[in-house]
Amino acid sequence: MPKSKSTNSDVVASESVLETVGAGGETHQQASGGSSVLTTDQGMPVSDNQNSLRVGLRGPMAMEDQVYREKMFHFDHERIPERVVHARGYGAHGFFETYDSLADVTSADLFQRAGEKTPVFTRFSTVAGNKGSFDLARDVRGFAVKFYTQEGNWDLVGNNIPVFFIQDPIKFPDLVHAAKQEPDRDFPQAQTAHDNFWDFISLMPESMHMIMWTMSDRAIPRGFRFMEGFGVHTFRMVDAEGKSTFVKFHWRPKLGMQSVVWNEAVKINGADPDFHRRDLWNAISKGEFPEWELGLQLFDEDFANSFAFDVLDSTKLIPEELVPLRIVGRLVLDRLPDNFFAETEQVAFCTQNIVPGLDFSNDPLLQGRNFSYLDTQIKRLGGPNFTHLPINAPKCPFAHFQQDGHMAYHNPKGRVNYEPNSWTPALGAEPGPRETPMGFKTFPEDASGAKLRIRPDSFADHYSQARQFYLSQTLIEQGHIQNALIFELSRVERPDIRLRIVSHLLNIDAELATQVASGLGIAELPAPAPSAVAPNMDLPLSDALSIQKKNPKVLTGRKFGIFVTDGADASLVNGLSAAAIKAGAAVEYIAPVIGGVELSDGTWLAAQYKIDGGPSVLFDFVAVIASANGAARAAKVPAARDFVSDAFGHFKFLAYSPEVKPLLVKAGIVEDLDEACVELSSAKAVKAFVEACKDIRHWTREAGLMEAMNGGTP
């Protein structure tokens, strides 16, 4: 990495102060706006609330940093019993299977033998919402995997986005406070569309890369099975000879990525706030076990030093075009918890939990998480013995001299509870466990320098990769980012906050800033925000950053919703169902009444949903097969009209029998039908419809809508 002098944080702060007189007549310096000088809980004035203390420009954190420790301790202990963040989660058991030995880069036991299967527990979650919030919030998703290896537990605690909002862990409490409900009113819940969040973001330029991701479709995934996962930080792998290789971890879903559109997400939250949970539960229950492959980006110190960005900066990524993934194994989730509370709620992930052959880098955010997670789990689960809970306990042999505390399941047996000791069986006691040369060894990286609260210049470019991400999206995806920003900022009451965000967007892409400003009614663009480092406007595009460019063209895991009425053509219903199932999709039926319908051949078809309880947002693709009488009656039912109009408005593939035209007329879409709206007039049409659905959405329909809204410019 480049050697450079330190820089101050880019946080914008007011320097104007007012003098106020206290109750005893004393004079205080008070920042304008009513804020007193920032102090610790003990009253010590804080000189730097932006950077934690570390050794040298790019060295490890110093444990003596009392400002960080006090701030993080207090933050970790704010709420009980649910998690402060990632409160709403859902998990499953499974295994990780290693494809080939990785002895060339790591001595970690689980990576030594091809075909090795390691038990795992995986928990997915939202970040900002409380435990009772809804699944389809626009939010980062947690993707945490606990590996029960033969040398102890390894927790890979990541997200579905490879970068993060902040560079230094001392800002994490501020980030979460800003994103959560505003404290005076306790709303909005599980939303960032409010003043506090965007005020914080507008004053933290380092967040702009992450903002591009969270305003993209990645933040509203179709389900856990359809999203990627990332370790976020740079870690180390260490081989048997002690050689270190940097590594970034990637999870790739076998089903490919898929997201929903925003209007659809809003309606899913109303129709089924447990949409993601139900999808995972149903898939595993039916034996359709979700799978991901683990990919590694491996690179050495020379690459790290030559890379344009600092690999220790968690707001940056390494494009796959520069360091391709090495696929090393697969994750399979094949068993649901026996009890949600005992397992999913009590599972305790800690980034500090690694095994021999793995190690940390000096990424400051990772080092801060190593401190914070253990403290959080001790507080949330009542004491240090949370490791005794079955979901957290290692599955390999373990032995130590830890004792007592709340809810201790295990204590040392006999007289000896310390080490070293000189007891032997001949002297009346077992000596107990001893350290081993084969145990975990920290990589002996050189670390030296003055103890300073700093951030290196190599962390200072906040816009280049944000621009790279945005421009790597398709035009449709760029439009979604624009619309997400417009929606979120339209809920911000203060015009100056909206203007500050637009000023940052100007450093990313002028057209993006212009579209957002227009959507917010901003007549005159502000000046671009000051930038510590001029953005690189020519970073190459990366197709790996786009969801739409990575469509695997498969229907496995997707769901067809078929709305049927009495007298519906049995051959069409059965033919469409058979074709969808053959392609790997699931089929569910919606009817005017929950009991079901009688088809044209006299057979009875059971339904899973009544029409007003089974809206089209619950399905990936929809069809309406009805008799003439059934279609005419459905046309009078608002829920039936919404079923087709929402599907059309969410750019889904829509099939219908010829008798359904009156319903399409009443729904107001008959004049706009396109090639993704297929009339099922024959078995050939059924086959063509199912094949077309492999595009997942008919984005051409949205492109036409965007063109109309923008006066002819797509």
Element (H, E) at 92: strand 89-98
**Is 483 annotated in the active site?**
no
Let me know if 233 is a catalytic residue.
no
Give the closest residue to 489 by CA, choosing from 197, 174, 140, 164.
197
Residue type, 243: K
Give the span between the Cα atoms of 177 and 157, in whole angstroms: 21
Omega prior to 394 cis, within 30 of 0: no
Which of the following is catalytic: 86, 93, 209, 276?
86
Kindly name the residue from 51, 93, 153, 159 that is annotated as catalytic: 159
What tokens does 366 get? 């990772």
Question: Which tokens belong to 356?
Answer: 């021999």
Q: What are the CA-CA distances from residue 75 to residues 173, 175, 638 (Å)? A: 6, 11, 48
- Residue 503: phi and psi, rounded to 5, are -65, -35
Q: Which residues of 145-173 are buried (b: 16+ CB within 10 A; e: fewer)?
A: bbbbbebbbbbbbbbbbbbbbbbbbbbbb
Establish whether the linkage from the previous residue to 526 is cis, with ω within 30° of 0. Answer: no
Mind spelling out the 3-state secondary structure of 405-440?
A: CCCCCCCCCCCCCCCCCCCCHHHCCCCCCCCCCCCC
Block residue for tokens 């570390």: 54
Return phi, psi of residue 610, to 5°: -85, 150
Token pair belonging to 585: 């999709």
**Strand, coil or helix: what is 153?**
strand
Are residues 589 and 564 in contact, defined by beta-carbon separation less than 8 angstroms? yes
CA angle at residue 587 from 584 to 593, to 5 degrees?
180
The amino acid at residue 97 is E
Asked if 634 and 626 count as a contact pair (C-beta separation under 8 A), the reply is yes
DSSP H stretches of helix in 1-40: none
Residue carrying structure tokens 């299967």: 117
Helix (H) or strand (E) holding 198: helix 195-202
Instruction: Show the CA angle centred on residue 227, arms to residues 177 and 608, nearest 5°.
Output: 105
Residue type at 87?
A
Q: DSSP letter at 345?
A: I
What would the two tokens of residue 260 be? Answer: 């929903």
Which residues participate in catalysis according to the annotation? 86, 159
